[in-house]
Amino acid sequence: MKISLFFAGHWGLSVLLQSLFQHRYAAHRMYTMGPKTERSLHLLTALVQGSSYLEPRAYAILHREHHAFADTEKDPHSPAHHGNPARMMLATARRYAAFVTRRKQPESRFLGGYPEWPALERTFGHWPSRVAFGALYTLFYRRFATRRWQYLLLPLHFVMGPVHGAIVNWCGHRYGYRNFRTRDESRNSLPMDVLCMGELFQNNHHARPANPDFASRRFELDPTWQVMRLLARLKLIRLAHVPRGQDVEAAQEPLQMPARARSVIPRSEMMEDAVAATP
């Protein structure tokens, strides 16, 4: 029971913070917050993601490239151009590492607007920290595991961020239904995405990349957006704009996006009258 709770908690919180902090804040600037709140959220993200913490700068650059080149040969992670999820994520990991070490310079339009905290990156972004977190997870399993099969879950804690990335990037551009006719292959994989906290609404998100609510139809639920609404009500964050009632074209222009990052947002095409495809 304790192992199940630990696994579910680590999974849910890791992907929630990836969606909330690295994706919707660092890459898209869907909301703003004060410097102390930003540092607190940054630290919380590093502590929760632990072994597989992702640097917001490198994440944001990769993700902006993904939006700009979605499902073309220049997309850093597209099922259309990588043979299987493992190859796709290996290529993504190599590109991510090149941006972290600054061996690779991205186009200037992908730079800026993300949180940078060099001391934190030096602490949490390197192997000693990743191994230490891995040791803590192992100690927890040694103390509380009651069945041998539970140890099969342990490696997932070490690579949780990349596992979430693989699920979202592969399934979100391969399996599911489409609400919008976009130029890419994006899909909505689950109508109520509690598995990846809203990240599997890839089609909605590619059509309206500035909209912080990834759900677009009545039956869809985006948990991370509900958390953002709560944080905004508590005045911890300020939302860039209110999504409901805006049409697709109006939602293309973010209010708070930094000028350099704004140019990477692709323009979607018209919304289809009905859900065209089924999962």
* Residues engaged in binding Zn ion (CB under 5 A): 202
Do residues 30 and 24 make contact, with C-beta atoms less than 8 angstroms apart?
yes
Q: How far is CA 96 from CA 56, 82, 103, 151, in A?
A: 11, 16, 10, 29
38 by Cβ neighbours in 10 Å (0-12 / 13-18 / 19+) ranks as: middle
- Which is nearer to Zn ion, 14 or 202 (by Cβ)? 202
Q: How far is the CB of 158 from Zn ion (least distance, A)?
A: 25
- Which is nearer to Zn ion, 106 or 150 (by Cβ)? 106
H/E segment holding residue 238: strand 238-239
Q: How far is the CB of 241 from Zn ion (least distance, A)?
A: 16
3-state secondary structure of 55: coil
Q: How far is the CB of 3 from Zn ion (least distance, A)?
A: 32
- Which is nearer to Zn ion, 4 or 263 (by Cβ)? 263
Structure token pair of residue 97: 């590492």
- Which is nearer to Zn ion, 3 or 41 (by Cβ)? 41
Q: How far is the CB of 15 from Zn ion (least distance, A)?
A: 14
Do residues 196 and 167 make contact, with C-beta atoms less than 8 angstroms apart?
yes
- Which is nearer to Zn ion, 14 or 22 (by Cβ)? 22
Q: How far is the CB of 161 from Zn ion (least distance, A)?
A: 16
- Comparing every residue's Cβ against Zn ion, the nearest one is 202
- Report which residue type is found at 48: V
